[in-house]
Amino acid sequence: MKRIISLTVIINLIFPLLFAILEPQVTRAVTDAITVTAEVTEEISISSPADVLLASSIPGMTGNPGSPASGSATWTVITNNATGFNFKIKASTDPAMQNSDGEYFFFDYTPAAAGSPDYDYAGPAAGSAEFSYSVTAATAADADTPFRNNGASCGTGANNTDNQCWWNLTTADVTVINRSTNTTDAGEGEKVNFRAESNGQLLKEGYYDAYITVTALVN
């Protein structure tokens, strides 16, 4: 009987001791981790530069051979798209630059090789008038292949020199910039140069317009 009582006393003493030892391990803090995700979607914006008045005016009979009327517009494109954007250009009419009644016009530029820009601008032949454009990307590597040059010809090389690689506008979209990464907050200023020149083509007095549309799309 005494042994049973003693064993009971011992057990009663051991259990609280064991609980005192083990209990803090049960109630210590445990950790867990989760991931909180927010999706950010792609966006793109483009600026709207002022209309362009080419300088200077062109004499309607004698023309301006060797001194093309020139001007440019710069569109700033901003995008957060990780694969960048492409930038296209087209004219609303064929030929691109016409007077209001469409009876008189500048021919679209004629490059030496069809389908490829001229590295150096070449004025129109005698008795003709032409309208042309070239592209200068904010980042040379973003210029589409036809507007890159190696210092002598277009469609090859890594350069994208201002006022080089002159081409004719068409009524179909032509990709002129193709960027493969997002821009900064400041965006990319994509410049398009324009030239109109007459080499003695009779042109009716008045204003001649080329309606140009550019489109920036995420890749």
pLDDT of residue 2: 47
Mean per-residue pLDDT, 75-103? 97
pLDDT of residue 27: 61
* 3-state helix/strand/coil string of 105-156: EEEECCCCCCCCCECCCCCCCCCCEEEEEEEECCCHHHECHHHCECCCCECC
* Torsion angle of C-alpha atoms 78, 81, 82, 88, degrees rounded to 10: -70
Domain ranges of the chain: 44-218
Per-residue pLDDT of 113-149, as tens digits, reads 999 999 999 999 999 999 999 999 999 999 999 999 9
Lowest mean pLDDT across 12-16, 100-104, 126-130, 146-150: 12-16
> How many Cα atoms are found within 13 Å in the side-chain-facing hemisphere of 168?
23
The answer, yes or no, to whether residue 8 has pLDDT greater than 80, is no
pLDDT of residue 6: 54
Question: Cis (ω within 30 of 0) for the bond into 67?
Answer: no
pTM of the model as a whole: 0.85
